[in-house]
Every structure is written in structure tokens, then in C-alpha cells.
Structure 1
Amino acid sequence: MQALRAEDPEHLGGHRLLARLGAGGMGVVYLARTGEGTPVALKVIRAEYAADPAFRARFRREVRLATGLTGRWVVAVTAADTEAREPWLATAFVPGPSLAEAVDGLGRFPSAAVCALGARLAEALDELHAVDLVHRDVKPGNILLVPDGPRLIDFGIAKGAGATALTAPDAIVGTPGYLSPEQARTRGGAIGPASDLFSLGCVLAYAATGRRPFGTGEAPAVLYRTVHEAPDLTGLGQLPPPLRAVIDGCLNKDPARRPTAAEVRAALTDDRHRGGSLPPAPDWLPPVVLRLVAERSARALDPPPRTAGPEPLDTPTAQGMSRRRILSVGGSAAAVLAASGTGAAVLLTRGRTASSGSQGTLPTRTLALHADLTGAQKALGQGQERGARLAVAAHNARADIGYRLALASYDDGGDAARARDIARRVVSARSVSAVIGPSTTACARAAAPLYAAASLPVVLVSADDDAAGLSTASLRTLCVTRASGSSRTLPVLFYLTRSRSSSRTAVIQDRAAGETAVDIARNLVATPPSGGTVTVHQVGSGEADFGPVVAQALAARPQAVVYGGTSPRRAAACARALAEARFAGAVTGFEPVMRAEFLTAAGRAAEGWVLEAPYTQAQSEHTAAARAFTAAYRTRYGAVPGPWSAEAYDAVGLIARAIDALGTTGTIEPAQVAERLFHTSYTGVAKPIRFEAGATHAMDPANTAFLYQVKEGAFRFLGRYDQVD
């Protein structure tokens, strides 16, 4: 919740506006009160979107559908003006978090809570289906949690059963991972109530396990699994039989074999309540979620005062201190000053920086770097911190800037619980424009949902969103600037097509790597190098001898072999077996193998292996930007840049480019920065960064990964995969 700005109206449609609940590219959501004092959430749409007839038609429909619903578990529209230049609607204010925020940030729900959740959502869907409406986007982000039960929101893409959605003819309506197989196949056509039940099954499985039943990653991969593969129901074995049966039934691929909403409600409800609306369930939420609801309810009763104009730069408090947060010239601030060559003391505030430099007073935008700086992966985190600090210093040294950057570092030590605590501290500080990190997978899984729930842009530099189980489709401010695991085969495919053309390729699928090995084999079979053929040869996770599987693979007379695994030790065993068989073709693998253990265990057998990696080696690049970055890094730190340093440098540049596009004066909300990021292209030291259009706003993986080759017992940088001859 943030203070109203000077340009915000005081009243709208008989409502008194109190605070901003959120803002983005589409518009602003306000906390407001009716004339009777009832709090509401009032959504105002920007005029440029309302000018689109199709968009306005969709908005009218959302209002009409939501106004006609009266059930306890749906959020009612209390007022609206669909014809205003900037149309708006008001709904009952629900102070609770979304199910996505609660589960991603606080963990899975106990089975009793999942039963209550399922019964009440089924009652809400039963009301929709009774009037021939299909919601079409039942997902954790559209479910709000309050003490008496859940609330189903967002009827913007709901429609009559059999009607046509107001989207492009080939558009998929819904959220990958929660939409039904028929939604994925039909692309805008007729969808029935059973589709909502499939989505409900996905939601309940997620609430019970904390995992998406069809995984995460790029939308096409999730859609493929939804249509063609069984859901991952690991962890559901301990659920009560009625709940497990409901989830299994809802996730049936055949719509005709799924239960109805009424049947789900009956299966999860005490017999006494099957004839009417379910009563409130005050004890259904875990205590940690109830505390979050209480905190937000209290904040709604005490909204921040409106700012009269541009935010005061230094308003003294009763203690004589500035309203702004003062960062001492020590720790992270001292490093920023040292990197930029400024020796005077500086007060780093959100509104300005007072310094003795020639630039005078300028607004300051603070970036948080969240990384493992002291734990097992401290080298990775420290490299990112150094790269980010160099970027901040380079920005502040320019003569044409309209604002300064400040970097505040936070060390989670590689501990997920600590990462969550840091995320809460950063969010509560309210002074950060964007977060870079966390740097490790486990900490990204723990903290990124909390940042996204607070509408803070969180830029993942090194952590793989696939491995972390994070979705850019559901976490709307999650910005991933590295190639995800789902696209790891692209550089290998390119190499074996252009650099070492292979019309016959053998994949050794190491089952010890689990789903990763399956994905590697599947992707290469679907898109074979050089348009040729691919054979797949599996080795069991308990098998240490790779001789038999290598002999089987070489019987197909391949020109290239791909090790589809993640273990350096097992990759070394594969390398030795290939060397013993005197295989002379190309051998490729993937970044997890790039460890000293592989080189030591494989010895001479590793020579020539080519490995994909999502990070560059800036000191080996030949571009002017890479040379300048490497020189600055050497001067400041007395070493060559480590892995992910250049990528962190580029993350700062990307954020700065987004802020530049929003204007360099006045208040800029973090949500605005997040929205702008996905419309920003940036060619950095490491690679070009572009984002795909659409709901997933994933990074375009083209030309964003690199190749290394083992030469003389070391990993030698070859270059960006599309530039390797």
C-alpha cells in the first residue's frame, strides 16, 4: 500500500480514495471508501487501453458477469462506470494474500485447509456453471484468502459456455500450468464447465504439495505436458482418500470423466451442509497466513497520507532524522563510492543524493542485490555483487544522468529461510526500485514469490527459474535474464548443425539426472541436429559402468554423442568409455558437468568435449563492451571477472534502461519498473536481452548461451553459441 500521488483524484464515483494498492501498465488499483465508509478496491483502467473497442467490450463483460454473482466465495462488484474515458469498477476489498503468495512464500497447506479450500471454490464454480458461465482462469493468483474462506476473483476472461472469447483466434485463454487440455488444444473455441474443474484439480494439488502438477518452465513445454503427460502427484499419497479422489478425478484428461463442481463440493463437505451454502470456516487457514491477513487488514485501517507534490527530499521526524532511509557510508554504500571514485560522505536516500560532486542533488533509485555472499556458493554471489557495483559506478559517473543509482547488498548465506527473511525486510523498507537475485536456486524459490507479491521487480541473473519451480506467467514481476533449463539444448543443437554438422546423433540419457535427462532427449529427438536422426540410449541411475550403453550408442554409427546428464563424475565415466571405444566424433554436454571433478576423473578422455553454459567469460570476448568491462573489473578487483559477473552488470543496465523510459524525475513505483522491463531490449556485455510478447514475458532464448571446450585439461571459452564457427 502506497500513498496517493498529487495527480490522483480525491474522489471517484462517490468513493473517497485513500491509497494505492498497486499500479502497472494497465492502470491503478486504489483502496477507497464508499459514502457509508465501506472499504473497496477500485480499479481504474488507463485511457489508452479503454480506447480499444475489444478491450472495452471485455471490461463491460467482466463488470456484468461479476455484478450478477452473489455467492459467498466470489468477490462482488459494488459499483462501476464502464463508459468513462478511464473506466473503473469497485469490488469488495479483500485484505488477504493470494493463494499463490501464501503457498510460494509460506509453504503448502495442511490437508484440512485444502479440503475447505476445495469445497468452497467448488461452490463458487457451481454458481458460475449454474448460469452457464465458465471462469477459464482458475489459478492460485485469482484466489484470495481471508479467515472465513477463499474468494475467487477476476472474471475478465469468463464467458458463456460455448461462446467465443474476445481474443485473437489462435490465442490460448488461461494460465499455462492451470488450464485444461481442451483449452490448450482449442485455442479460443468452445470450453465447458469441466475445464474449470481441471483447473481446480491443479490448484488443489498445488495447495497440498507446493508444486505445480505439470511443472514449470516455458509455456509450450507446460502445455505439452498438460495435454500429453500424466500430472506429477508426488506428495499426495498422505491426503485423505476423498480429497485425493477429487484431485485425481478433476485431473482426468477426458472432460466427460471429471466430476462436476457440485460433486466436488459434496465429496469434500459435511453432509449437513450439502443442501445450502457452506458456513464460514474461521479456523481453516494456517496461523502464519492468518497473521499476514491481520497485518494487511491493519494497514488498510491506517493508509499513508497523500503526498502534496513531489515527495519531500528531507522531512525531519520527531527525532530530527530524515523521513528517508539513510545508508551509512560503510558496507555497501562505501563500495559504491569507492568504485565511482567519490571520497566524500553521501546520504543515499530514495529521493536524492547529497554529495560534494559536481552533479549536485539528483534523485536516487536504490537497487537491492540479494545473493549468497558467505555460504557455499559465495564465489557466485560475490561475482554478481562486483559486477553490479561496477555497473552502478559506471552509471553514476556519466555526465548526462537524471538520477543516481545506489546498491544495497543482502547476504542470505545460501539459506532459504534467511532468504525469506531478507525478502520481507526489503519489501518492508519500501525504498527499493528493483531486486537483483537471489543468486541460488533454493533461495530464489523461497524469496522470489515474496518480492513478486509486493510488486517488486525481481531480476534473476543466475538462478534457473525452471529448477526453482518459478513461473514468469504467475509471478508477474519475475524477470529472468538467463537462458532457462528448458532451452539448454538449443546451443548444442546449433553446434551440431552448423559448427560440427552431425546427421546421426546419439543421446546417452543418464537416468540419474531424472526429468532433466528426459527433456534433453525429448528436445533433440523432436528437433534433430542437421535435420538428421537421433537415437536415445538410457543408462540406469545405479549403473556405474558406461561401457555397455556406449557400445549400444556407437552401434548406430553416430557422428556425435550428447551426454544427457548433470553429474560430473558420471560424465567422466561416459568420457572414459567413449575414449576406450575410440570414438572420434563430436561429444557435447551441459553446464552442470563443468566442474573440476569432471576434468580430474576423466583425464585425457575429457579432451575435446564441448559444453553449453548460460554465462559468458567476458575476458575472452572481443567486443568493445566486454574489453571495457574486463579492464574496469581488473582495475577495481585485481582479478578477471568470474562467472555471472558480466550478467549482473547487464542486469543493472537493463533496470536503468527501464527507469530511463519511465522518466528520471518524480516518484516511480516498482510495479511500473517491472512492467517496463518486459518491454525493454538491452544489448549488454554478455548477450542481448529481449522478452517474448504474451502472458509469460519470458526472455527470448536466442543467442543467450555460450559454448566451452575442454582443452589441455581446462574449460576454454569458445564464444556465444551462434558465433562459434
Structure 2
Amino acid sequence: MRPLLPADPAAIGGNRLLGRLGSGGMGTVYLGRSPEGVLVAVKVIRADHAADPAFRARFRREAQAAGGLTGRWVVPVVAADPEAREPWLATPFVPGPSLAEAVGGYGPLPARTVRILGTRLAEALAEVHTAGLVHRDVKPGNVLLAPDGPRLIDFGIARAAGATTLTAADAVVGTPGYLAPELARAGGPAAGPAGDVFSLGCVLAYAATGSGPFGGGHAAAVVFRTVHEEPQLGELPPELREAVGGCLRKEPADRPTLGELTALLGTDTGGEGSAAAADWLPAPLPRIIAERSTRALDLPAPEPTRIDAPAPARPFTRRRLLAAGAALAAAAAPIAWVTTSRPGGGAPSAGADRDLPSLTLALQADLTGPGRATGQAHERGMRLAVARHNARPDADFRLALRVADDGGDPQRLKQAAAELLADPAVLGLVGPTWDAAVPELAGACLTADLTLALVSVHSPENTQALWRTVCATRPTDEGLGLPVLHYLSRVRISRRTAVVEDAANGAPAWQVTRVLQQSPPAQGSVSVHRVADAGSGFGATVRALTEARAEAVVYAGTSPQRAAELARALADAGFPGPRVALQHAMEPAFLTSAGQAAEGWVFSALCTDPLALPAASEFVAAHRSAYGEPPARWATEAYDAVGLLATALTGLEGEVRDRAGLSRRIFRTTYQGLAKTVAFDTRTRALTGDALAHLYRAEAGAFRYLGRYPDVRADP
């Protein structure tokens, strides 16, 4: 569970919210406490989805039907409001791990446990079907494990993929690898009970073997194998093959009914008594469930929110604004782009020769604190982009840049943001350059209707639901998992991958852990080794992953120093396999601290190397001329952010070029940048495009760019 964000409500439908359980394209799931003191999971649907009348009608109908479910193995809807601006529903909270988490972290389940799992999920689905519902997305992540048996969640109420409707007939709804072949194309037959039976067979195969029957990798490849190839059941225990194989037949009519499946799984499923129920799961899962239950019950109910009258704000006088502007301008002298200069050294003056309006963009960054290298890269890239725009003969406005330094300090962040937002000339803002600053700055920009372009920082999955003026120009951290998956599946194949999830000295990169658990490299297995204490070394972890015969190690942490410590421990143990980390650890401190042990480490990153981009040659030359060195990490992406904002402002020709206009136009703008094409889904406002991530390798005391991850086919 993660803490509530500043923009989250304190309560929904009388349920006091305690934290966030997850978020996605459809909305956010909160942990709440009902007026009766019962813990509930509250799912809130985003308003843009609810704007579709057909969506709302289906939500109303299916929530009502699901509210009538009373079976032991389903998690029913206990409250809902389909008429709210953001419709919501509440279900009892189940503190146990999902099947995906259990198998990913502790390995396949025994055959007896899988048989019990299958019969009880079949019973749950039978009740769902009797109620007139079809689940549509039976998968390991939607099966929770409780002490007495599994619980099936999310039965067809808020599922969508590529469509604004819930269950439209022309929408492909489901998860690749667990989606029935007849449902794997738009316009196919409507989802029915047989599709849920197929998905259940996939779930049972995963539970028993640790991998899906149609492998992993890219979604399109998984769907292709599902439709055209036979399932991979070689490691399935013999007593499960008839039942699971029957579920996975291509033709819906050839699959067993749920009653027939129960008979195939056998009658020895643990009985209904408490003693039988208590031992259906292998160790250590019962202990983990008990610990989570204890933690959940210990959660306090938050105090009701009080809003005190604010103290009178100190007004922004003209003198204060001019003084602040002069101080910033002194540190932000314009830089000419020398590659656009004319013979004799004079810069082009096409823009300056005409009486053009001046539009101001701003940068808020850490320029003097711990993240000053990234902040400086932003500033340099943006200054060169502004100079380039102003040198264009076809420009119908000039750009000005205002820069504010927050030093990576929360208090300075607020002060700098207040001064920038108080300047009506500022139409768009780039920044911040440190992750923890995003909620504060995004909330302030939302209030001011100011577009905030994120370049290097991570943004929550539901950013647009929280702050509609935030424009994320880089993928979320989940995007870091794809290069890792590609590298360990296609370049250095690993069928037993160990993920070291390090929470010391910073948050663990849990998004990448989730990606690898859901789609293991090379269709193999993933073991997760969690380290919580900064005082703990990695000796025990390395021994554990060695005993597990790991073929590759992924460091899912954010500390370069801790990554270096792991590198040394692996080198001391003589670990021969590939070692992979994420961009957070791709810092000079890793190279310095790891020494020779850094050699050969591969890094997944969301930033490109402009030195490897032919289209960026002029930018690189201009940067060398202006600053005496090549562009640093994120300078190219910051340069592109200015181009995106300028293109959006250009698109407002004939309209008012103001904050409101830019915040509307930006998500309808496509910009061909140096690093990538920047474009957005017009419905979700999420960044679109493929191959937005890259691979680097530590070699000879530097990070060598290998390329966009799909283009990397072999080790250099």
C-alpha cells in the first residue's frame, strides 16, 4: 500500500481512505474503512471514462448484478455509486497476496494446492455466470490467496483495453497469455463462460509451473501463440494435464463445463472443515497472509480533515517580482546557437528583425543541490532550443526562458513555484528534476491551469486523473522493465532470473519487479530477494540466489552505491551471469564505488545518447560550442520539451495563446523530436509510441550506449 496523494479525497461514499492499493488506466483503487469499521477496497473510475453514457449504464447494471454475489470464493460489491461524477464501488478488502505475487516470489504451487485452487475458482465462476456476468479477465493478478481458499476479484465491472467502454462487443478485453483465442481479435464473438474456462486453465498452468502455457514476451507474440500454437504443458504434473489441457482447447465447445472441470480435478480438494482449509497453502504463504492481516487490522482510521482559514498571503508587489526576475535573469543570460550563425559570426536575426510577440517558458530544477547535474542538463538543452526557435525565419513569436533553482529542497520548491506561477507571462513550465517534487508542483500547476512538462522524473500511472495539466514526456518506471525483459530473453538468455529488490537508501523499483514477475524472461522463472535494511550487506542475498541457481541478476533499487555494493558481492562470489540495473543506478558513483566489478553491467534507461543520433549532430555541435562538452543525460529530452511546447503554441494560431489554450492543445500535438516522436493518446493523454527505452553497458569506466532496446540483438 502507498500513501495518499495530496489530490486524493479523504473519503468516498462514507469510506475513510487510508492509502492507495493501485492505479491504472481505468482509475484508482484505495484502501478504506467503512462507517462500520470494516476494511474495504474502493475502486474509483476516472471521469473521462464515465462520460460515456453506455459505459455508465453497463457499470450500473453490472455493479447491481455483482452486488448479489454471495459465494465463499468471490469478493462481492458491497457498495457502489454509478451516478457519481467518478463512479465507484467498494468490495471487502482481502489482505492476502495475489497468485501472481505468491508464485513469482515463492515458486510454483504443489499439485494438491492447484487442484483445490481450481475447484474453488470453478465454483466462484459458476456463481458469476449464474448471475449473468462473465469475468473476462481471469488471471493470476485477479486471484487473491486467503487462509481458507482463493478469492476471485474484478469480475467484469471495470475492465477495458483500448476502448472507453466497459465490455463493448468490438473491444478486445483481457490479458495476453490468459485471453481465450476466440476473444483475441476485435469484432469476434462476445465473451462467454467458455472464455473464462480457458483463462482458468491458463491460471492453473501458471500456478503449477510458474509460467503461462503460451509463454511471455511481447503481447502480440503471446496472442499469436495462443491462437495458433499448442500450449506448453511439459512441466505440468501428470494428474493435472487432463483438466488443464481440456480447458485450453481452441474451440469453445470442446472445453469442459465448470462442473466437468471440478470432476476432472478430483474430489480430494481439502474438504470444507477448518483443519482442511488451514493447510491448503504451502509454507511460507500462510505466515505471509497472517502478517499482512495483522498489519491491515492495525491501520488507524485517519482523523477527519480540518481546513483552517489560511493566513493572509503576502502580496506579490511589482518591486518583488522585478527583483526576482532580475536575479533569475542574471543567472540566465541568452546563449546564441553558433551553428546557425552567418559568415562573420553574426547570428541570424530573422526573428529579431520583426516585431514579434514574446512568449515565456520556464524551468524549475535543482541547479545547486544533489541533483544539479540533471538540472544543468535541462537548462542547457532548453536554452539551446529557445535559441534555435528564435533563429527560425518562419517563427511568428519569440520564446523567452525563465529559470528557477529549487536546490532539491521542498521549501525552496514551494517558493520557486509560487514566484513562477505568479508571473502571468509564464505559459508553460518544464520540471521538476527530482521525483519527490512532482506532486507539489503538479498540484500548483493544476490550480494555475499551467502546463507542466515532465522530462526526467517518474509520474504516477494515474497522473492525468490527478493533474490534467501535467504532460509526461517520458514513460513511467514500468517502461524500464521492457529492456530488461528483452535483454534476458533475446540477448543473454536467462531462464532463472533473480531480482534483488532493494528498499535501502530509497524506494525499491517495484514496478520493474512486477513486470518481470508477470512476464518472466525467456518464459522462465523469477525469484525476488528483498532487502529492507540499509545496514544489510548483500552476502546472504548472493548466497540465496546462487543456491537458487540464478542465471541472471537484476538490481531493482535506486541507489548507485548499493548497486555497486551488490556488484562487488557478485564479483567476489564469482557470479558468471548477466547483471542488469536501472537508470537510477547509472551514475558515476556506481563506476567509482564498484571499480572493476562494474565491468559488463547492463542498464535500462529512458534517456537516449545524442552522440549516437545522426539527427542530433547539430545539437551536439552547438552544445560543445556553447559549453565545451557534449550534452549530458536528459539534455536532449529537455531540448525536445521546448520543441513540443513551441509546436503546441504554434498550433494555437488564430486563438489566444495563453495558459488555458496551451494546456488544451499540448495533448493534441505531435512533435518529431531528436530523442523520439512525442505524441499522446487523445483519450487518456498518455504518452504513446514504441521503443522509448534504451540499453547501456558499463565499460572501461564509462556507460556505453548500446541502442534502443529492440535493436540490441547481441552483446558487443
TM-score bracket for this pair, using the shorter chain length: 0.5 to 0.7
The offset of 1:193, in angstroms, is 4.7
The offset of 1:368, in angstroms, is 1.1
The offset of 1:588, in angstroms, is 0.5
Distance in 2, Cα, partners of 1:578 & 1:365: 53
1:652 aligns to what? Answer: 642
Does the aligned pair in 1 maintain the 2:501–2:531 contact within 8 Å? Answer: yes
1:380 corresponds to 2:370: no
Secondary structure of the residue that 1:335 maps to in structure 2?
A: coil
Among 264, 282, 307, the residue aligned to 1:285:
307
Among 444, 455, 460, the residue aligned to 1:450:
444
Distance in 1, Cα, partners of 2:366 & 2:585: 22
Distance in 2, Cα, partners of 1:137 & 1:704: 24
1:410 corresponds to 2:397: no
1:581 aligns to what? Answer: 573
Secondary structure of the residue that 2:402 maps to in structure 1?
A: strand
Distance in 2, Cα, partners of 1:383 & 1:582: 38
* RMSD, aligned CA: 5.0
1:512 corresponds to 2:504: yes
Among 417, 422, 428, the residue aligned to 1:423:
417
Does the aligned pair in 2 maintain the 1:493–1:529 contact within 8 Å? Answer: yes
Distance in 1, Cα, partners of 2:293 & 2:428: 35
1:622 corresponds to 2:574: no
What does residue range 38-187 of structure 1 map to in structure 2 within 5 Å?
104=6, 165-167=53-55
What does residue range 27-42 of structure 1 map to in structure 2 within 5 Å?
none
* Deviations 1:568-588 (CA, angstroms, capped at 9, x unpaired): 333223222322333322110
Among 683, 686, 696, the residue aligned to 2:672:
683
Unaligned runs of 5+ in 1: 1-101, 124-135, 141-153, 174-178, 203-219, 244-267, 269-282, 296-318, 344-354
Distance in 1, Cα, partners of 2:308 & 2:89: 21
1:705 aligns to what? Answer: 693
Distance in 1, Cα, partners of 2:592 & 2:469: 42
Distance in 2, Cα, partners of 1:576 & 1:459: 38
Secondary structure of the residue that 2:638 maps to in structure 1?
A: helix
Percent identity, aligned pairs only, is 36
1:632 aligns to what? Answer: 622
What does residue range 660-679 of structure 1 map to in structure 2 within 5 Å?
660-663=650-653, 665=654, 667-679=656-668
Which one-letter code corresponds to 1:471 in the other structure?
T
Secondary structure of the residue that 1:331 maps to in structure 2?
A: helix
What does residue range 501-580 of structure 1 map to in structure 2 within 5 Å?
501-512=493-504, 516-541=508-533, 544-580=536-572
1:352 aligns to what? Answer: none
The offset of 1:567, in angstroms, is 2.7
Residues 1:662 and 1:499: Cα distance change in structure 2 (over 3 Å): farther
Which one-letter code corresponds to 2:387 in the other structure?
A
Secondary structure of the residue that 1:541 maps to in structure 2?
A: coil
Does the aligned pair in 1 maintain the 2:339–2:621 contact within 8 Å? Answer: no
1:604 corresponds to 2:596: yes
Does the aligned pair in 1 maintain the 2:351–2:390 contact within 8 Å? Answer: no
Does the aligned pair in 2 maintain the 1:483–1:699 contact within 8 Å? Answer: yes
Distance in 1, Cα, partners of 2:700 & 2:565: 19
Distance in 2, Cα, partners of 1:232 & 1:201: 25
The offset of 1:516, in angstroms, is 2.8
Distance in 2, Cα, partners of 1:224 & 1:659: 44
What does residue range 97-496 of structure 1 map to in structure 2 within 5 Å?
104=6, 165-167=53-55, 193-195=79-81, 285-288=307-310, 331=329, 335-336=333-334, 338-339=336-337, 359-466=353-460, 471-496=463-488
2:283 aligns to what? Answer: none
1:717 aligns to what? Answer: 705
Does the aligned pair in 1 maintain the 2:5–2:439 contact within 8 Å? Answer: no
Does the aligned pair in 2 maintain the 1:544–1:570 contact within 8 Å? Answer: no
* Deviations 1:25-80 (CA, angstroms, capped at 9, x unpaired): xxxxxxxxxxxxxxxxxxxxxxxxxxxxxxxxxxxxxxxxxxxxxxxxxxxxxxxx
Distance in 2, Cα, partners of 1:232 & 1:445: 30
The offset of 1:724, in angstroms, is 2.4
Distance in 2, Cα, partners of 1:477 & 1:471: 9
Distance in 2, Cα, partners of 1:407 & 1:231: 53
* Deviations 1:526-548 (CA, angstroms, capped at 9, x unpaired): 11123333233344536634333
The offset of 1:422, in angstroms, is 2.5
Distance in 1, Cα, partners of 2:480 & 2:520: 14
* Deviations 1:581-620 (CA, angstroms, capped at 9, x unpaired): 333221101122223332233222221000112222222x
Which one-letter code corresponds to 1:669 in the other structure?
D
Which one-letter code corresponds to 2:555 in the other structure?
Y
TM-score by length of 1: 0.56
1:76 aligns to what? Answer: none
Secondary structure of the residue that 2:680 maps to in structure 1?
A: coil
Which one-letter code corresponds to 1:414 in the other structure?
G
Residues 1:573 and 1:672: Cα distance change in structure 2 (over 3 Å): same
The offset of 1:359, in angstroms, is 3.5
Distance in 2, Cα, partners of 1:199 & 1:589: 40
Secondary structure of the residue that 1:361 maps to in structure 2?
A: coil
1:641 corresponds to 2:631: yes
Residues 1:122 and 1:628: Cα distance change in structure 2 (over 3 Å): same
* Deviations 1:61-113 (CA, angstroms, capped at 9, x unpaired): xxxxxxxxxxxxxxxxxxxxxxxxxxxxxxxxxxxxxxxxx9838xx99xxxx
Residues 1:455 and 1:225: Cα distance change in structure 2 (over 3 Å): farther
Residues 1:361 and 1:527: Cα distance change in structure 2 (over 3 Å): same
Does the aligned pair in 2 maintain the 1:368–1:409 contact within 8 Å? Answer: yes
Distance in 2, Cα, partners of 1:668 & 1:377: 33
Distance in 2, Cα, partners of 1:617 & 1:361: 38
Does the aligned pair in 1 maintain the 2:335–2:626 contact within 8 Å? Answer: no
The offset of 1:412, in angstroms, is 1.8
Distance in 1, Cα, partners of 2:616 & 2:49: 46
Residues 1:532 and 1:172: Cα distance change in structure 2 (over 3 Å): farther
Secondary structure of the residue that 2:608 maps to in structure 1?
A: coil
Residues 1:538 and 1:499: Cα distance change in structure 2 (over 3 Å): same
Distance in 2, Cα, partners of 1:238 & 1:557: 42
The offset of 1:171, in angstroms, is 9.1
Residues 1:637 and 1:552: Cα distance change in structure 2 (over 3 Å): same
Distance in 2, Cα, partners of 1:630 & 1:405: 21
Distance in 2, Cα, partners of 1:231 & 1:661: 54
The offset of 1:238, in angstroms, is 6.4
Distance in 2, Cα, partners of 1:236 & 1:403: 59
Secondary structure of the residue that 2:363 maps to in structure 1?
A: strand
* Deviations 1:215-262 (CA, angstroms, capped at 9, x unpaired): xxxxx9xx989969999999996657xx5xxxxxxxxxxxxxxxxxxx
Distance in 1, Cα, partners of 2:697 & 2:47: 52
Distance in 2, Cα, partners of 1:513 & 1:337: 38
Does the aligned pair in 1 maintain the 2:351–2:391 contact within 8 Å? Answer: no
* Deviations 1:400-442 (CA, angstroms, capped at 9, x unpaired): 1121111111222222222222322222221122111122223
Which one-letter code corresponds to 1:166 in the other structure?
A
Distance in 1, Cα, partners of 2:297 & 2:6: 16
Secondary structure of the residue that 1:691 maps to in structure 2?
A: coil
Secondary structure of the residue that 2:375 maps to in structure 1?
A: helix
TM-score by length of 2: 0.56
Distance in 1, Cα, partners of 2:600 & 2:57: 49
* Deviations 1:129-175 (CA, angstroms, capped at 9, x unpaired): xxxxxxx99999xxxxxxxxxxxxx999889xxxx9423999999xx
The offset of 1:384, in angstroms, is 0.7
Distance in 2, Cα, partners of 1:359 & 1:714: 45
Which one-letter code corresponds to 2:379 in the other structure?
E
Residues 1:434 and 1:718: Cα distance change in structure 2 (over 3 Å): same
